[in-house]
Amino acid sequence: MFMRNSLNVLGSLTLVAVMAAGCAGPEEKMGRGISNFGEIVRGGEFERSVEQAGIFDGTDVGVSTGFIRGVDRTVARTGVGLYEIVTFPIPPYGPVCTDYLSPKPLYPDSFHPRKWSDATFDTDRQMGFSGGDVAPWFPGSRFRVFDD
């Protein structure tokens, strides 16, 4: 009897907490966590660190110190992403470690990401023409068919 009542109370309290919190905070935290967790595959922090160290400190420093800084920042962003994925239903919902990492993923200054060319974004694909990257899954492929 006691167990059934406590489960009812716990379920009610959980429902009230979810209703009071809303969806925007946990949704944003989970999305940011997934984006940050994928940094180890994406490698944007690594590329940016090597590029910035090479530009401001010289090519030798860019290759050595930039490499170490890039690995450090990549591991840090991946760890923050894992933390945000695990704790997404628990407040606070704002970004963490913002004094060391920016809330949004970084890219090298020489690259500006755009949408992939697919049926969702391209309305002219029925005519046989489409814009976007030729091979966005292939690293270093930044040739664009139709650039505005």
- The predicted structure's pLDDT at residue 123: 58
CA–CA dist 64, 68 (Å, integer): 7
Mean pLDDT per 10-residue interval, the chain, length 148 residues = 70 68 79 92 90 88 90 94 91 86 80 65 57 60 55
Matching residue, tokens 């690594």: 46
H or E element at residue 13: helix 2-21
- The predicted structure's pLDDT at residue 65: 92
CA–CA dist 45, 76 (Å, integer): 10
- The predicted structure's pLDDT at residue 18: 62
- The predicted structure's pLDDT at residue 78: 94
- The predicted structure's pLDDT at residue 115: 66
Which structure tokens are listed for 91? 């407040």
Domain ranges of the chain: 24-111, 114-148
